[in-house]
């Protein structure tokens, strides 16, 4: 004999189930939470440049960083001398 369900009781399984109409809503909530997490993580950094990050300062202190106005800037003659070859020419 089959048990007959009382029609006055709400179906508890369907009350908490994620129906086909709720998937887009659930997906959009997850995407918004991921976007908020990423933006807080990326934009929440107090550093503007890599040399301001403490874990890179020791390594960058041993490197020789050059700028176009650096005193170690090579002259055109030094550049030409460095690339002298019978098959390769630097046109200045």
Render pLDDT for 35-65 as a digit per residue (tens, 0 to 9). Answer: 999 888 877 778 888 778 888 888 877 776 6
User: What is the average pLDDT across 25-41?
Assistant: 92
pLDDT at 4: 59
Checking if the pLDDT of 10 tops 70, the result is no
pLDDT at 56: 84
Q: What is the mean pLDDT of the chain?
A: 72
pLDDT at 45: 78
Can you tell me which residue has the tokens 């403490």?
54
Q: Distance between CA 72 and CA 79 in Å, rounded?
A: 12
Query: Considering the entire predicted model, what is its pTM?
Result: 0.35
Tokens of 86: 């019978």
């Amino acid at each position: 004999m089959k048990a007959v369900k009382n029609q006055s009781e709400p179906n508890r399984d369907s009350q908490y189930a994620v129906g086909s109409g709720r998937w887009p809503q659930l997906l959009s909530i997850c995407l918004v939470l991921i976007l908020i997490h990423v933006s807080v993580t990326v934009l929440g950094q107090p550093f503007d440049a890599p040399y301001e990050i403490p874990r890179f300062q020791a390594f960058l202190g041993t490197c020789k960083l050059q700028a176009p106005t650096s005193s170690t800037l090579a002259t055109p003659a030094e550049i030409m001398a460095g690339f002298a070859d019978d098959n390769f020419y630097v046109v200045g």
